[in-house]
């Protein structure tokens, strides 16, 4: 990856029909005046007006079809010049001064290669996913069968999301942070080959963090940095499509990442539970939708 002395951080935003949220995301990073940066927007064939009226200095990569999040991030990274790359969702808004806090953490921790902020819901509460363990097949099994509720403090049953636990005062190493706002050292990203493009949507961030961890590099959670994430703005029109990819990527993540650690029969059982959960989520959505869905509309929602 070519780097430029005048560019400390490259911001890569993968966009798909995010409307006005994209402009807010871009504005939030352009306001990070204590860091030299560039902004790269990778558009996955949006059909809305989200690209209109972006600042002229923004580099836009226009794809003729939706290539997914991982491939979009890698396309943006290929054009990045910064020492660090910040992957930011278009429905995320970075709080003032937070980018500098993330950069400072990586600069002061030589073995750290990824840093993530506190993810906040629009109401100011902490959002799940900003700090978490790697979801192993066992923890997934416990979560799907709600066994984690029986012994929530036991390390073998504890939920892998850390939201709701006391927020640490200082930055700490965690298994994973969220791709909604993730700063990565460019050199480490190049060594790892970027995101795994086998993941179309979801779990590519966890998979990258897992690879970093297994190569003895640190993923840091930085409580002094904050980012508001309005979840799901790019997927409102196709919820079942998004849920399918979320569940399918989860199964792929477990079977690719833990094949040498768990019996095949157990991985098959957990995979079946994940797909059963997807079926339940889909049925619940279809039957809870208040307006009638015509057959022609149903296809567009899948």
CATH number of the CATH domain containing 124? 3.90.550.10
Say yes or no: 171 and 270 in one domain. Answer: no
Q: Cα–chain-centroid distance for residue 244?
A: 16
| Structure token pair of residue 269 | 């059982």
Residues 102-115: tens digit of each pLDDT: 999 999 998 999 99
Residue 212 lies in a domain: yes
For the chain, percent of residues with pLDDT exceeding 70:
89
| Residue 293 pLDDT exceeds 50 | no
235 or 259, greater pLDDT: 259
For 46, what's the count of Cα atoms within 13 Å in the CB-facing half-sphere? 24
| Banded pLDDT at 294 (limits 50, 70, 90) | very low
- Final residue in a domain of this structure, among 194, 229, 264: 229
Whose CA is closest to 15, among 59, 57, 56, 78? 59
Per-residue pLDDT, 1:
45
Pair (86, 187) in one structural domain: yes
**What pLDDT is stored for residue 297 in this prediction?**
37
Extract the tokens encoding 217. 């590099």
Asked whether residue 149 falls in the same domain as residue 46, the answer is yes
CA 225 to chain centre: 16
Residues 163 and 48 in one domain: yes
> Which stretch of DSSP H or E encloses residue 227?
strand 218-229
Residue 133 is classified by DSSP as -
Same domain, yes or no: 219 and 291: no
Residue where the block lists tokens 């808004």: 93
Per-residue pLDDT tens for 46-91? 999 999 989 999 999 999 999 999 999 999 999 999 999 999 999 9
pLDDT band at 203 (very low <50, low <70, confident <90, very high): very high
As beta bridge partners, residue 183 has: 86, 115
**What was the pLDDT predicted at 289?**
62
Q: Give the range of the structural domain holding residue 161, as residue numbers without chain letter.
A: 9-229
How many domains is the chain partitioned into structurally?
A: 2
Residue 266: CB atoms within 10 A of its CB come to: 14
Residue 151 has pLDDT above 80, yes or no: no
Cβ–Cβ < 8 Å for 181, 115: no
Based on the fold, state whether residues 198 and 280 are members of the same structural domain: no
Residues 62 and 169 occupy one common structural domain? yes
Same domain for 161 and 190? yes
**170 and 262 belong to one structural domain:** no
Which of 176, 199, 229 lies at the terminal end of a domain, its last residue? 229
Does residue 2 form part of some domain?
Answer: no
């Amino acid at each position: 990856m070519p780097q430029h002395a005048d560019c400390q951080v490259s911001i890569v935003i993968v966009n798909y029909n995010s409307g006005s949220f994209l402009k807010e995301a871009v504005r939030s990073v352009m306001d990070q005046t204590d860091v030299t940066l560039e902004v790269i927007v990778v558009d996955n064939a949006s059909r809305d007006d989200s690209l209109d009226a972006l600042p002229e200095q923004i580099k836009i990569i226009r794809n003729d079809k939706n290539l997914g999040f991982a491939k979009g991030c890698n396309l943006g990274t290929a054009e990045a010049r910064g020492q660090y790359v910040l992957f930011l969702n278009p429905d995320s808004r970075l709080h003032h001064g937070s980018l500098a806090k993330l950069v400072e953490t990586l600069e002061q921790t030589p073995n750290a290669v990824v840093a993530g902020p506190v993810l906040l819901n629009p109401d100011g509460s902490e959002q799940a996913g900003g700090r978490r363990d790697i979801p192993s097949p066992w923890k997934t099994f416990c979560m799907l069968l709600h066994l984690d509720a029986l012994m929530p403090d036991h390390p073998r049953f504890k939920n892998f999301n850390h939201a709701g636990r006391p927020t640490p005062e200082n930055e700490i190493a965690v298994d994973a942070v969220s791709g909604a706002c993730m700063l990565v050292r460019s050199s480490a990203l190049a060594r790892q080959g970027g995101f795994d493009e086998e993941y179309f949507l979801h779990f590519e961030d966890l998979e990258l963090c897992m690879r970093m961890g297994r190569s003895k590099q640190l993923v840091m959670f930085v409580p002094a940095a904050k980012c508001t994430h309005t979840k799901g703005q790019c997927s409102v029109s196709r919820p079942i499509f998004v849920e399918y990819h979320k569940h399918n990527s989860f199964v792929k993540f477990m079977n690719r990442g833990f094949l040498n650690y768990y019996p095949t029969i157990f991985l098959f059982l957990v995979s079946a539970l994940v797909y059963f959960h997807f079926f339940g989520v889909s049925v619940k959505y279809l039957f809870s939708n208040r307006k009638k869905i015509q057959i022609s509309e149903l296809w567009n929602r899948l």
